[in-house]
Each structure stands twice: as structure tokens, then as C-alpha cells.
Structure 1
Amino acid sequence: MPTAIEEATEINKELPKLSNDEIARYSRHLILPEVGMEGQRKLKAAKVLCVGTGGLGAPLALYLAAAGVGTIGLIDFDVVDKSNLQRQIIHSEATVGKLKVDSAEIMLKGLNPNLNVVKHNTMLTSHNALDILKDYDVIADGTDNFQTRYLVNDACVLLGKPNAYASIYRFEGQASVFGAPLGPCYRCLYPEPPPPGLVPSCAEGGVLGILPGLLGIIQATETIKLILGIGEPLVGRLLLVDALGMNFRQLKLRKNPDCPVCGTHPTVTELIDYDQFCGIEKPTEVGPLEVARDKAVADLPIVDGIPQISVEQLKKKLDAKENIFVLDVREPHEYQIVNIGAPLIPLGTIESRLSEIAAHKNDEVIVHCKSGARSQKASILLKNAGFTNVSNLTGGITAWADKIDKSLPKY
């Protein structure tokens, strides 16, 4: 009698046979009574979609490939950057600049040549999500932005696919299985997204490189359990991981009968505009994903009353020795990595340290951070405090290193 999870993943079908080479390869699985020949054949028949090939997707895809999952789909449209290599172990120095799906395929095929890799070099959107996800048995969400998490969740619920979910930030992570029969979905836990900018991305807040390894392996474990129909998946449970204290806690989750997606009377019956739902600007469909996603503000001359100035314009003002005051609002540890000599007052201390810059209240003040998001917030604080001529440096010190002084390091 198939389990509910097995029915949901549609893996109870005629199973492929294992070759002698595969029997040798998976021998440690085969001698586990809970897996055995039938379980390994289920793994070979399974199709898993890894949404993202970054910090979480890297260990996730590697362990699924090693375990013998027959088909692994990879969806990503980013390219490999050196800053990825601190945690995204599926990529290497040799593949910097390559598409992440191509880079990941090289590593996965090198690990297991029997693997069928399906590459989706595209941004996951409301227009293509259902068509892409429908061909897979389990979806593993390794994204790092809220709009895609809600999109994946809703698509999984609409299609009846389980979602092996994880997320990470700094030294902490969480994991669960959403969208399983009778279990809650992501919206049951988080009905509404946080206000834009409240939760910094890993590019702004950082992440311990080992942490996505921990959570990605948990995702892979849950995916294997779902395919095999064994153990107790994280359905109705949220696993919380604190890497600094090495603590693992879990919270019980309940299915919300009033959930707009998986409740008894759903109101979301088709995919919506998730950028609008999360209150963010639509990302571009080309170029590095982190650049598109973490862009500070819209490409407009004025945003929320704050003029936006380019690094080229700032360079001209500095060269002309104009009477301007440049303010760095990053953190001290970032300043130690790279700076352009501007005074440092971190964003979180701006309001308590206004007296230190009071002399520039009527001067032209240009605020910068790493990429422009924090400096936009600081500019608004200064404007509200009575500073009459405040501008935000678009792209921050990263853009300065890209376009003005290429000798500077980027982080």
C-alpha cells in the first residue's frame, strides 16, 4: 500500500532496473533494508527540481546525484562569481564566469555519469513555473528571496508537489517540507512577506560558508525520504538551526484552514505577480542574478524623494573639488575590507550621531554603502532630520570598484 507521500510524488510506477555498475555504486544503500533494490530503483526513477544552484542548491544537488536520483533539474540564470566559491561547492575556479547550470552539470556528471541533468537557464516566473515544475516529483527550494519562495510554494500547492524547503542567513537556517498532503504550506507559516529591505540578503548581511552545507544536506535528506516513503519527513515541523551554538530546535506547524492557497476555501487559484506581492521592483531577466536582485533602488533619478547619483558623477565632483560631504554607512568590518576614505557612521547609529555631521546640514551630502540599499535608508533618515541636499550613491562602493577604481577589492 503506497504512502500518501509516495502517491503525491507519483513514483509508484514501473521502476527502472539497475545495471551491475549501479549495483556496485549503490551497494551501501542496497544493504539498508529501508532502501534495498526497490528503494534504489525508486531513486533512479525520481525527478527532483533544484530551484537555485547556489549555497543550498550546491550540496543538495551533489548529494542527490551521489544517492542515485535519476533526473535532477537545475533552474538558475546566474553566472558563477568568485564570491560564490566560499559556499557554493558545486562550482570552481575553472567555471567562474560560466552559467551556474552549466558549471553545476560539470560537477554532477563528474560525480555520477548515470545522472540525467535537465538545465533550465531561466528566471522562474509566474509564466513558466507551472510548466517547469509539473515534470518533477519533488521540488527543493534553495532560493534566497521571498518572491521566489512564495512562487515556488504556490506552484507546488497548485500542482500537488511536495516542497523540500530551506533558507539561511548569517549563522542560522531553517528547513521544512511544505505542500505535502494534509501538511501546511509556506504561506501557513508566513502569510505575508516582510516589508521590502527589512531582511537583508546574504550579499548584504553575509553567511557562514558552511551553513548552507548543513541546510542543503537536510534538504537532500528530506527529499530522499519523500522519494522512498520512509522515516518522518519535516511535514508540519520547522527545523531551526543555530550554527554558532550548534543547536537544533523544531517548531510544530499547523495547516491553516484559512490559508489563501492550501486552505479549505482558497482564494489564490493561479499564480500571481510575486514581485508586486512582496513590494519589490521587478528584476531584470538577464545578467548576474545577485546584481539584478540586490540592486539598491530603481533606475530612476529620484526615489522616495532622494536623488540618485552615479559613481561617475561622484568622481567628477571629487575631481572638481566641489564642496561635498561623502558619508559611508556600512559596518566597521566592511570598512576594513575596502573604503574610499569617507567618514564612517554605520546606518544603525545615524540617528544617535547626527551631531557629528550637523555642520554639513546645508551642504551636498552623498551617502554610500556596499550596493546602495542601506545608503538609501540613511539618506531618508538624514532628509527627515533636516538635511536639505542629500543624494544616494547608486551601486555603492561595489559600483565604484567596477567602474572607477578597478584596483579596489569587491566583497
Structure 2
Amino acid sequence: MLLERRNMEKMGSIKRKVMARQHKAEVMIAGEQLRMRLHDGKLIKDRRYHLRTYPNCFLAQELIDWLISHKEVPDRDTAVQLMQHLMDNDIVHHVCDKRPIFKDAKLLYRFRKDDGTFPFNTEVKVFMRGQRLYEQLVTSRDSILQLREEKGMLYQRSFPGCQLIDWLLQNGEVESRRKGLELCRALLEHGIIQHVSLKHHFFDSGLLYQFCINFRRRRRLSELLNDSEQEEVEGVSQQSQEDHADSPFVLRKTPPVEGNSCFLSVEPSKELKVISSGRRSSLTHQQLNSSGYSSSCPLSSIPVVRCNPKSVLKRHVTCEELLAPGAPFIKRVLTVMGDALGWGFVVRGKSPCYIQAVDPGSPAATAGVKVRQFVCQVNGRSVLHLDYCTLTKLVMTGPRVVVLEVMEPVD
């Protein structure tokens, strides 16, 4: 009994450390996304103060105005709390490092990434290595991240441990299987990957693992404060995390649409449950290639099948109807300047493809991309007769700036 209690306490301690590291990772990703957006918005620039020029700085008051105007925070007090959280995590600092408190004043602050003072300790290096590997695995042509079955359960974007080590060796990421095993165990201990049922450490075997973090998701800055508060609350059950509706590896419980059997990944008669990643995370920024991040239903005794979200179209439209003279559609040409996370819209359908979803805070929304628009051309190439998978690959392998010609229904 005593041994069992000690084991439970040890596992609880490990989980708390992993959650803390995962929150640190979320802060780092959100901080980097904010830095890039501020650079794009010209809020970060060289500024002169007391006969001295400080490069790559932002003014605290201007930043708070920007956060409120972009609806990242509801008020100035929350904005100050948010920036203080970034300061406490070594993301930003006062230009002279003499002010540990972030103030809503005409004071100059700077991202540590911009002046080379970011602390690249072991934890950060492991995180950055995990992020780079994730990007390579997601974008590789024959990715090992697949829907897999283990003990009657389906796991989204999972991979056997031995296959990950094989991939690391084939791509020159490690020198030997022993080094590969060490790297994978470090990734697990730092909350980057995990065993699908959270029962095992990393082994060079057929056990299935998943990435805990969707690095491509656009983080809403308000999440950082919510995550920080949740870390302080003990007793959050693993079930509540797995059932979170916005988990990046979750498939929402949506009944399959008749006639859309091509969306099914398993036979309806096969009683398989779909299990999501245990990491709590919200999918507020839908990437163009987010068809890979299917949603999943919570644990349930009801057999479920994988399916796509219900179409936003009010009725089916053919290519001929779109191109017909006098058709009730308006042609628009939109230029979407992608950021480090992508473009911020989701396409669905086949001949023609249409916009299924748009992230309100994304480059796509800024450019005027809206749901129910039909995609006719991408960078001058006709895509009317392509399916959404092919269109997705075309955009993902193209330039950062995407020029879309769309047909918008006349309301």
C-alpha cells in the first residue's frame, strides 16, 4: 500500500513537471508569434531615448493599445498581466534590465530574441529541437504520423517509437539508435511527445506515441494567463484534458454526412474508439493544411467513425455554375501574406473547393478571405477541378504570399 502511494506521488510529480514544461513551451510559441506580428506591424523598431538609440524596441503603452485593438485582451490591466507573464518567462525585458515589473507607461521593452539575450538552456534547446522535428514530420511526403490502431483504439497522428528512431537515423538527425533513444526520451520528459495512453516511457519498440503540442496552432495570448491559472489548480483530471473539445488531435463527435463516405477512415461496423492527445490545447488558428488535425470525440463507449466537419455551404455548386455568364457570384482577388504559422484558412470540397473556416485573427481574415468563397485560382493557376487535398499541397509548397482568385456568393 505504501509502495503504491509512493508510485502515485512520483507519477504525479512527473506529470506536474511535464505540465509546467508544456506551459513554458506554449509561452515560448505565443511569445514568438507575438514578436513576428509586432515586427510586421512596425511596432518593433529602433527608438531614440536620452540621446541613445535602442534597436528593435517597442513602447509599452503602444503595445497595450495594440493588444486591445486586436482583441487579444479585454482591458489594459489584463494586458499588463500578460506582458508581465512574458517577462517572468524571459521572453521580453526592459531595455536596461533594471525594471522587473512591466508598466503601462512610456518605457522601452525588447524581446530577448531580438537582442540575443534569450536563455538557450537545455530545456529551450530540447523544445526547439522538438519543434523542428515536428515541422519536418508534418510536412514530409510519407510522414510516419498516421492514424493507427492499438488495442482496439485509434490514435490520431501517432507513430511507433522504433519508426521515429528509424526516421531520425535516415535523416541524419542522430548518429546511432542509442542517441536516437536518448533524444526521444528527452522529448518525452520535456512534454514534447508522450505515450498515447500515458502508461510508458519512450522505448525503441512498437509502442505508439504522439506529439503533445501542435506547434502550428496560432495561440491566443489570453490562453497563457488561463493556462497559468490552471497550473496552480491541483486535481485536474486527465479525462477532462482528453475530453477538451479543442484538443489539436481530437475528432469532434460529428455524424457522417450521407454520400460523403470518402471521409471515413474506418468501416462503420468496426467498433473502434478514437483517442486524442492528452495535452489540453485550443485550435483557434486553423492552418490551411489542418485537415491533418482532425477533431476527435471524447472517450465513450459509443462506437464512432472519423469524419470531416459538416460543410458550411448552403447548397452544392458546380464549376459550370460558377463560370456561367450572369451567375450570382462576385469575383475577388485576395493577397494573403502568410506568417510563420501559415495563412489561417481551411479549404474543403472537390471541384470546386470552398473556404470552410477562417481564423478571425489570421492573415487570411485580414486579406478578406471569408467562408463559403469558392477558390478558382491560386497564384495564377486554375484550381477549380482540384480536390482540397491537392489544393492544400499546392499552397503549402508555394511561396509565402498566396494570391487567391475566389468567387463569392451574392447575398
TM-score range normalised by the length of the shorter chain = under 0.3
TM-score by length of 1: 0.28
